[in-house]
Amino acid sequence: LHASDAKRGFIRGGVVIEANIFTHQPIMHSLALAAPQNRWGAGLKDHMRNFSRTVHFAGVCEELPMESNRIELDPDIKDRFGLPVPRIAKTNHPNDVAMNYWFEERLREVALAAGASKVVNTPVPGLDIKLDTPVAGSEHNHGTCRMGNNPESSVLDKWCRSHEIPNLWVADGSVMPTNAGYNPTLTILANAYRVSDYFINQAARQSL
């Protein structure tokens, strides 16, 4: 765990995980780790020979919430019913970019200290992380119904009840203001229990 330390040039933090369970598959190994010149022919074959001797690490970092990051309706593309399709609008905060580079260096240090003969970064060398770099993954989505005290800047109150629709309650990952910098499953479960207890107590008092 790397807690927040502004001396690093960014705030917030995250964790380093062993990521073989997600990425140690032949096709993913080829697409994610092979440099562009090694994605076909002899270069790809040489790269794939090391598949069984490769270890994958990842940094799970907490992104800062940005009002501009949202799910919105596409102004041009419509589905078969004629309705606008949803699209992801996302840019990277400068703090997120700095954090990604810092974790990249820490992961390189871990790999070399463990005796790695070769370290490959993802994104591959030559593809820099910028403010408009596309999202690399979407395993744990958060924030589209975030909690907060102010109805102007949040969808739900602290008990995950809608500010605008009193009989609407939400208790999944969308309530989180940020992605927290670690896998959220247990936090989602704990919050769901918290919300359920409050809901039951309010129902018993007939105050829903």
Catalytic residue IDs:
140
Count the Cβ atoms, other than its own, within 10 Å of residue 113. 8
DSSP string, 93-135: -HHHHHHHHHHHHHHHHHHHHTT-S----SSPTT----TTPPP
Instruction: List residues bridging with 131 in a β-sheet.
Output: none
Do residues 85 and 74 touch, judged by C-beta distance below 8 A? Answer: yes
In angstroms, how far is the first alpha carbon of the chain from the final one? 40
What's the Rg (C-alpha) of the chain? 21
